[in-house]
Amino acid sequence: MAFSQAIAGRGVGDRVILAAVIACAALWVLPIAWVVLLSFKPNSELMMSTASAFRAPYTVKNYTDVAATSGVPHWFANSIIVAGSATLVTLIVASLAGYGFARTEFPFKRTLFVIVLLGLAVPEQAVIIARHQLFTDWKLHNTYLALILPSLSNPFGVFLMTQFFRAIPRDIDEAAMLDNASRFKTFWRVLLPLTIPAQATLGIITFLFYWNDYLWPLISATRPEMFTLTVGIASTQTNFAQSEGLGFLMAQAVLAGLPVFIFYLFFQRYIVQAVAGAAVR
């Protein structure tokens, strides 16, 4: 990239900028490092002072305690079940609808598509009270279904897939249909494999959304055994200032944050593309 040199240059000024950004990055990591250090300190020591976090002794007792006594393993499993199945269902439903809107003709298609697009402007908070009532009437609160269903109604995935199907040249499916493939077969065998990049984008965004979602699980899952990891961890952090188990709480936070961080390290490029791409649409 010739132009990046043109902006960044190679002079003294450039080195200063880079040094500043590196120093700032250290500040950015500092809070996380602080929490990790605290998580390895004995609780009794932290009661007195946290200044000792930078020196030994360190212990893994907080971690073994979390594994043995806290709800984290169970909530973790809940989050995997909810985010995993919601992602799978979103991909199926959005792909079908994307193909339907991009490639088929049926009565009122255009009107319906415009309504779906308008749905993009509706924030969760505008529907959450009626939705909560609805799930109360259906007696669905404190079930996995209640945690998965609501955000499936978000039109974003359908919008993304429709755009993607539209970008595929029509010759490809017309050729398949001339070979006597049914519509569904054309969709399933011929077009769907071409949409894998879009599936990856939508899959990552959906998974991260469900994994980190807070408001709806907070009001729908009221029984601790139905908490997702996000709600569960939040439920343990009420009385912080007086907490006798600061190290324990920190170990819980580290364990809860670790999986998504590892996921990020492995799929960093795709996650950045997916999230940034989604925001500008």
Partner 1 sequence: MSAAAQTPAQAPLLRARGAHIGPDWRSALFTAPFLLIFLGLLVYPLFWGMWISLQEYDMFDKSAIFAALKNYVALASDPIFLGSVRNTFLFVLLTVPAFVVIGLALALALNRQGRTAAVLRAVYFGTSVLSVTIVTIIWKVMYLPGRGLISVVLSLFGLAPIAFISSSSLALPAVAITTVWWIIGLPMMLFLAALQQIPAELYEAAVLDNASRWRTLWSITLPSITRTFVVVTIYEIVAQFQLFGQALLLTQGGPNNASRPIVLFIYETGFRDWNLGLAAAASEILFLLMALAAMLQYFATRRAEAR
242-281 binders of partner 1 (CB under 8 A): 246, 249-250, 253, 256-257, 260-261, 263-264, 268, 271-272, 275-276, 279-280
Nearer to partner 1, 69 or 242 (CB): 242
Kindly state the smallest distance separating residue 61's Cβ from partner 1, in Å: 18
Among positions 121-180, residues that touch partner 1 (CB under 8 A) are: 121-134, 149-150, 152-155, 158, 171, 174-175, 177-178, 180
C-alpha pair distances (Å), 166 with each of 6, 90, 91, 162, 251: 38, 19, 17, 6, 48
- Rounded to a whole number of angstroms, the distance between the first and last alpha carbons of the chain is 26
**What is d(CA 150, CA 133) in angstroms, rounded to the nearest whole number?**
12
68 scored as a contact of partner 1 (CB under 8 A)? no
51 contacts 174 by C-beta, under 8 angstroms: no
Kindly state the smallest distance separating residue 108's Cβ from partner 1, in Å: 9
Among positions 86-125, residues that touch partner 1 (CB under 8 A) are: 92-94, 96-97, 99-101, 104-107, 109, 112, 115-116, 119, 121-125
Nearer to partner 1, 69 or 111 (CB): 111
167 contacts 102 by C-beta, under 8 angstroms: no
75 scored as a contact of partner 1 (CB under 8 A)? no
Q: Which of 150, 130, 153, 133 is nearest to 82 (CA)?
A: 150
**With left for phi above 0 and alpha for psi between -120 and 50, is residue 9 left, alpha or beta?**
left
